[in-house]
Structure 1
């Protein structure tokens, strides 16, 4: 019987978390397992939005689960909010209830295969994994949960919602056989709350991105500053801070290149600030980010708050590109890495600008940044940690079955 793994992930279009999904699929493929990737979308996605996921994320087969039409879903979510029910809980239960409704191709794919492991991204998909295990008679399959972050932190602004979300998060997480975290901070939190062993994997890059960034030699263009970011909720405050408080002190001859969907936010909300600077270039999403890292004299990461870990920080390390960042951008990094890059950290506007100005010449950094990447964040380091997590999950699953 052929060994198989199921990877369950939210549907993100070009999001940073896709790096982890791709690395997870590659980990199982290197074990010569077949891989089914299930993308969970709250709203029905058009086929063109995920048609490239098979090649990009290294799965043998990609399928989706969704609730139906977007208009119908919005009405459902609004009605449940009005009734006082948490919409996250509502969406979670709907995905779980649809576990038996995989499309015929996915059902046929699982036929005749032994599902050894179900890799779950984010806790609200754990019950879906349990339902799939039961539905397809794969009770021995172990469930490894990749938490990514403490999701309740995003609801901290609302005490009642935050408390409810925290309770749901811990309940769903406790049902997995083993937990994997991207940071020591998250590992300590879950160990304290659940009282069980954990694995800290840290983050890594999509294997294709890793190859692109680590094989290139830097050819920096003098006075070029690069920022890469999506319209993730953690990025707009950093852009607000940079444009309002840092940019006035940056060398006026510097060329500031910004890539990613964050450009939409800047055009809509910060047009007054960026419009006064002719050297600010908004590229929007780009197909090949490696060439921009290759040409940047310095990369900036003005992060004001964050959960999980920063992909842009990992990309800069892989490229060996010098950078200036604020302390929150280091969330999720091992203490040894934080200590090594301390000279690049600046939390006050003038200090941040001065460090950017000092690096505009494109000189190589004094710290071997690529060595930090290979030791802590490379695919190989990530795969070793996943191997340890799989062994722990197998032992915990065996103990649970025996009891």
Structure 2
């Protein structure tokens, strides 16, 4: 098979004709199918994937801007009956170290978030067997009444399915009640890999891939925006990763409700899955492919929380246009032994050093006005 450099790239690698054909299709604005994604994932050089992903990113976001959100991950409880093999954070009911946050603790965390210029809280917890739905409604309602300006980004799809099954309600009824209490949007957590063959091995007590997607589709139809994630590098194959991307793309084609996609790598320390973490090139390859395949999702986030600031900066040239969160608090990844920390000033410095202007935004990517003063 003949090999040639991809037209217009600076890649020193020679690409097969099949890669060249798909690359030209992507650069002309075309949508790739599953076969094309497989070819790029398995055969294209990392440099070529970067070139294609960055071209798609610049076509969608030509302005030299990289956004980020200032929020706090508040885990209202770590008590959980799921016992996911990849999780180092949860505690079984009755185990030492289990907790449910009090209103006073919630207030302190939200107050600190506002002082630091935060605009939203990401509120998630375990599948607590003893807390009824009205506990979550009351918590959201109290936050909304006490802090009317804060954006409440809360309850991943597995939590919502758990609430529905526990209360014998439909998914739609649960979302409607949480919306009425003050819920603003839903995070994309609990996706892991959206293939049941994988989910039954790593998180057998969580909802199915079909139900995860159904929660998001229902939320979109009720007017809520959501994000989508992928945690990869545990017990899935490359084919499963592609299944995940195309499942998300199919929902977005129908609803347009995802604001962003965030792929991040499994962190194995302190978990029940014994393997090495994915290296940076594997992360960047999947990130770039995400930008190319998910041509209907505006924003792709870099994950400095799992990959560190240097790889996250490089990710801005592999399709990412968003630096994720200032992350005033994060517990789940930290429990797996990974603990990167960045101040607002450090995030701005990293973004500027890559040639972009940092802009703080809200969940729906509206720029914050006025922009914060750098500290």
Question: What's the TM-score once normalised by structure 1's chain length?
Answer: 0.30
> Which structure has the highest helix share of the two?
1
Question: What's the TM-score once normalised by structure 2's chain length?
Answer: 0.32
